[in-house]
Structure 1
Amino acid sequence: MRPRGLNTGQVGAGTLFNPEISVILDGVFYWDDEDGDIPTPAGFGGGHHHHGHGHDHAHGELDQGFNLRETEIVFAAAIDNYLDAVVTLAIEGDSGIEVEEAYAVTRALPAGFQMKFGKFLSDVGYINKQHPHDWDFVDRPLMNELLFGDHGLQEKGVQVSWVPATPFYTRLGVEVLQGETSGVANYVGSGRHEIVGYAEGTGGTPDRLRWRTNYGLDDVDGPRLFTGFAKFAPDLGYEHALQVGVFGGYARSFQDVETHSSGRVEAWDGDGWFAGTDWVYRYDAGRSYGHGDWRLQAEYMYRRLSLDYFEGVPGEVGSTTSPEFQNRETRKNDGLYIQAVYGFAPRWSAGLRYDVVGLTNNDGYDSFDESHRYSANVTFTATEFSRFRLQVNHGRYEEDDDHGHGDFTQVMLQYNLSLGAHGAHSF
């Protein structure tokens, strides 16, 4: 590693921590015709062996009416001549603060190498590494939300990437991650030892406790998730730009537990892998404020989980009784989205997106049809610091309660405001 600019004078403590700071506000007015009761598409509710509408998070935890969705506070600075650092804090409405990203990245490794370490959004695919204010639509594509989880693939670990000296842009990378992402590397961990319920007792005192003691789930130390990606961008001149990517990952542990009021426990333990491809094309018309520009984007991803299924009723406190092995099951799911955005006037753009999940759709016991969602929006970008968007979604989801398909319509009006420093967007 070579230090950068050592002959330009000593970097004093007064400039070492002088970060660029930005605050990004994201508000949404939301309405749907199902009174907020939009189910999770069949086959994507975790694979639990019960029927029902699943979890009501299909629209990103939005309530009917006004929402302050996510406020991001971003700190970015050079630590020294060797490292840059970024910390992103996310305030989810008024519920609390989460460290969304906190990582350092090297500045001057030789031969085109770079290392990132800390907590970060993975570079697999295209949209996963983007924050909500970078999206061309109000909501995340279904593929990313349902196959990775509500926050995408966001992990603690290390990434090593390489940009070799080739005639066209090439970037190769691998990531070694802790393995906690709900969709591909869910890990129960210490949750196996939590109190899950009380047996009915006399005099208001429970006779015994049901305890998560030895569910048959293995202790698996991290790192548990390993990913790789490759991105290629041929030189098409000034007006046109194309990037093609492939990616994949292997989770050496995937665990899940479902408890029931009767005391019955279901548990799954195994491993899994995923693979996909992403395509992005951009056309720059050379006119002012995005007029005439095109952006086309598409991704596909396949996920496969191989799991041992256990079922039973744990004993009393201190018991080592485990749910008994029932069978081995394989969950197979996939999804894709295609979207296009066109700048039809200075500062104005219109977008269309098609989502489909479940082209392959088996939860280990049942097979389901695919679910579809269609989206259209109009966006006004007043400046690079303020944006307003109206979006309409219409979905047709396969339901896992033998009711066939359920149709719904969503309307969202969004404002997105950026205060302070505003970094350049990546391709």
Structure 2
Amino acid sequence: MHTFKRAALGAAAMIVVTPAAATDVEQDELAAVRAEIRAMRQAYEARIAELEGKLERLETRSEQPPAAVAEPAAAAGAPAAQRRRVYGNEFNPSIGVILNGRFSAFSESDSEIAGFGTGEEGERGREGLAVDESELNVAASVDDKFYGSMTAAIVREEGEDKVELEAAYFQTLGGAGLPTGLSLKAGRAFWTLGYLNEHHSHADDFADRPLPNRVFLDNTYNDDGVEFSYVLPTALYSEIGGGLFRGDDLPFGETGGSGPEAWSLFGRLGGDIGFNQSWRIGAYVLSGEAAGRVTNEGDVSFSGDTDLYVADLRYTWAPTGNARNQELTLQGEFFRRDEDGSYDVGAGPVRFDDAVNGGYVQAVYKFRPQWRVGARYSRLQAPEVPAGLVGSALDGGGHDPEAYALMLDWTHSEFSRVRLQYNREELSDGLQDDQFILQYIMSLGAHGAHKY
């Protein structure tokens, strides 16, 4: 009996203890799983917090770029096509080389522009195989306040290779402490005067520049001086500016003084039309004193007041909404030169007070990502020469010089371009020059994006 009771009590105890023991084991396992999940959650939260902190630092750095990638104040508010980063280098200078060469064939040996004196850069160039103007450019942010650039051109003149300083300037950045939208540039640069003058020739849509740029500016006005520009806080891109210059470059020539002998003013407006169109218009004036401006290889010199007025218009349209695939560009500039002084053609000074006009229009169509075709027409108005200049190099016989150009170019990448161009120039009465040009442009090293 006692044995039976003890067995019964033991069985009852096992029934009671076993579930309790099982419950403790399960609780231990659950606690272990919960602890593992908690540890994993803490590890992941720590990793996520670390990544979020890194992302925040990168976003802050992107929103507030260092001086090495800061854009000039003048870039703010520009049309979408113009809001491209121009300066993308670190404090280490970007160094680039532009190789520019061509083969040219002309039907006429004479290329004088009747009624106008031209500088050496404004001439049509050499026939046959030739290395054209090649460039060496060094550029970098100086610090958080200034950007600097220098461009040297290697050219052949009179059978000799020469190095010419095209540009050497500094420009303020957004951190320079100037009011928002205000920028200052000083040194030697391609100053703001119409559309083409701000650009290096290798960035042009054609192998040569239009007649007005060749005659009035000897291709490009890059005098020594200082220029300011201010982008207004308006809905449209609105920019005003001006400059003071030494006055040693055409249309003025060597003044012999300490300057400044010339000044400029300009204003521009631009904007976007939808997502695939943009436009810009501008008006400019450049005024100064010429003292013995020599043209036509020293045969003609001018002394007196020179005022040059320019208006430009540029319109771009990407039919597919993607300018990399297709793009149509319409562009034009109008020039008016007003001079009051005297010309010396070897027989003594002759009084001259007259204004002449010139201009060009062009259209360029990118019909495939790597292929473009373009057409351009440029014209000059013949000056009315006084009796003392009849028969001189400035007597064009009333003929208005004009030129037609057709081009087709292939751009394999942003670093290489090959262009075929045909020109028909009627620079003198009864003289028609048919020109064929095959040009290559190769870019080595770093090179900033060109302006709109």
Q: Structure 1-normalised TM-score?
A: 0.76
Give how far 1:257 is off: 6.0
User: SS of 1:426's equivalent?
Assistant: coil
Give how far 1:80 is off: 1.1
Give how far 1:343 is off: 1.3
Distance in 2 (alpha carbons) for counterparts of 1:81 and 1:172: 24
User: Match of 1:169?
Assistant: 237
**Larger strand percent:** 1
Q: How many residues align?
A: 357
User: Match of 1:384?
Assistant: 414
Q: Write out per-residue CA displacement over residues 140-160 of structure 1, whole angstroms, 9 at most, x where no aligned residue.
A: 1111110111x4111100001
Q: Write out per-residue CA displacement over residues 162-217 of structure 1, whole angstroms, 9 at most, x where no aligned residue.
A: 001011001111010110122x212353xxxxxxxxxxxxxxxxxxxxxxxxxxxx
**Larger helix percent:** 2
User: Match of 1:234?
Assistant: 271
Aligned counterparts, 1:19-34, within 5 A = 19-34=93-108
Give how far 1:232 is off: 0.5
Aligned: 1:130 with 2:199: yes
Larger Rg: 2
User: Does the Cα contact within 8 Å between 2:117 and 2:295 map onto a contact in 1?
Assistant: no
Distance in 1 (alpha carbons) for counterparts of 2:211 and 2:445: 31
User: Match of 1:280?
Assistant: 314
User: Match of 2:404?
Assistant: 374
User: Does the Cα contact within 8 Å between 1:32 and 1:410 map onto a contact in 2?
Assistant: yes
User: Match of 2:225?
Assistant: 157
Give how far 1:122 is off: 1.1
Aligned: 1:354 with 2:417: no
User: SS of 2:223's equivalent?
Assistant: strand
User: SS of 1:146's equivalent?
Assistant: helix
User: Does the Cα contact within 8 Å between 1:251 and 1:272 map onto a contact in 2?
Assistant: yes
User: Match of 1:78?
Assistant: 141
User: Does the Cα contact within 8 Å between 2:405 and 2:422 map onto a contact in 1?
Assistant: yes
User: SS of 1:143's equivalent?
Assistant: helix
Gaps of 5+ in 2: 1-60, 69-88, 390-394
Structure 1 pair 311–120 and aligned structure 2 pair: CA distance change class (3 A): closer
User: Match of 2:161?
Assistant: 95
User: Does the Cα contact within 8 Å between 1:40 and 1:58 map onto a contact in 2?
Assistant: no
Distance in 2 (alpha carbons) for counterparts of 1:41 and 1:311: 16
Give how far 1:56 is off: 8.3
Give how far 1:312 is off: 8.2
User: Match of 1:319?
Assistant: none
Aligned counterparts, 1:133-212, within 5 A = 133-149=202-218, 151-182=219-250, 184-187=251-254, 189=256
User: Does the Cα contact within 8 Å between 1:179 and 1:224 map onto a contact in 2?
Assistant: yes
Please give the root-mean-square deviation of Cα atoms over the aligned residues, in Å. 3.1
Distance in 1 (alpha carbons) for counterparts of 2:414 and 2:105: 27
Aligned counterparts, 1:38-77, within 5 A = 38-45=110-117, 59-62=123-126, 64-77=127-140
Identity %: 30
Q: Write out per-residue CA displacement over residues 252-287 of structure 1, whole angstroms, 9 at most, x where no aligned residue.
A: 3342469999xxx98642111110200000012347
Give how far 1:8 is off: 10
The worse-fitting range, judged by mean Cα deviation, of 115-124 and 301-310 is: 301-310
Structure 1 pair 10–379 and aligned structure 2 pair: CA distance change class (3 A): closer
Aligned: 1:334 with 2:357: yes
Which residue of 148, 172, 175 corresponds with 1:106?
172
User: Does the Cα contact within 8 Å between 1:121 and 1:129 map onto a contact in 2?
Assistant: yes
Structure 1 pair 311–72 and aligned structure 2 pair: CA distance change class (3 A): closer
The worse-fitting range, judged by mean Cα deviation, of 230-239 and 126-135 is: 230-239
